[in-house]
Amino acid sequence: MYLSLDPDGVRTDRIRGALSRYMTHVPEGDRWQWTDLTLGGGPATIIGWTSSFSDTGTIGSPELATAEKGNLAFTHTVDRLVSLVRWMRDRPLETRHEHHATPPTFPLPFGF
């Protein structure tokens, strides 16, 4: 995305991808823990520090990045975020129902 937003701010001479350690150093890691932005991810994963993912701190093949791909990802992300905000703004509010056996004797937070 950054190549699209500020190409002069990208140090292209330092772009170097590496396979994720969980794919190469963890037995059967390639079977369970894979991630692809277009194809999805494996059935399980363990979240860790990005810097620990690979020898370069990257995921995937950043050397294949282009400003056009970054613009597509950025535009898609913005479109989805706008859609989410509109949905949240326009969705009907659920009616609250009292299910306490004994009503609370203290004020509920947030005006409930």
Question: Higher model confidence: residue 90 or residue 46?
Answer: 90
Distance of CA 83 to the CA centre of its chain: 17
**pLDDT for res 40:** 65
- Closest by alpha carbon to 29, among 21, 37, 18? 21
Question: Higher model confidence: residue 37 or residue 6?
Answer: 6
Report pLDDT digits (tens) over 48-103: 777 777 778 777 788 899 999 999 999 999 999 999 999 999 999 888 888 889 88
Q: Does the structure show a pLDDT above 90 at 108?
A: no
Instruction: DSSP letter for 55, please.
Output: T
Going by pLDDT thresholds of 50, 70 and 90, the confidence category of residue 104 is confident
- Closest by alpha carbon to 44, among 28, 60, 65? 28
Phi, psi for 36 (deg, rounded to 5): -140, 125
| CA–CA dist 112, 99 (Å, integer) | 13
Residue partners of 74: CB distance under 8 A and separation at least 6: 1, 4, 5
Report pLDDT digits (tens) over 25-39: 778 777 777 666 566
For the chain, give every domain's residue range: 2-89
